[in-house]
Amino acid sequence: MSFDELLAFAGRHMYLSLGFVGLTVAIVYTEIARLFRGYKALRPAELTALINRDNALVIDLSASGEFEKGHIAGSRSVQVSQFDPESKLLANAKALPVVAVCRTGQASADAAKRLKKAGFEQVYWLDGGVQAWQQADLPLIKGRG
């Protein structure tokens, strides 16, 4: 397909072309923003390595009932409504790797953003949350932990 044919197609299908350009710009913007946000998404295997290698602090933002049904070994339960980057639990962890975890990955991404703004140096979140952990066939601990 030549450039002239592409321009002719765009002229005949204006809305389709504008939609394509809009989606392309949105994807590029999202990817660039992700590179500069200061915290990183982890897959379950990467989280396992970080816990084993660097003794990462894992903060689980799941509701207490969900936490008791199953959580990552060694994780600390913190309710979303009580999450505070300046809390006693996190006060001594600013230089350590801190990983925010929740059931689906939504609340933990927001928590990671707050941790980074509060001056934490190594901030991560589990992409896909505990559900992704389970899908990777990794074990969960039941009870209060």
Q: Are 129 and 60 in contact (CB under 8 A)?
A: no
Per-residue pLDDT of the chain (145 residues; tens, 9 = 90+): 898 888 888 889 999 989 999 999 998 887 777 666 778 999 999 999 999 999 899 999 999 899 999 999 999 999 888 888 888 878 778 888 999 999 998 889 889 999 988 888 899 999 999 999 999 999 999 987 6
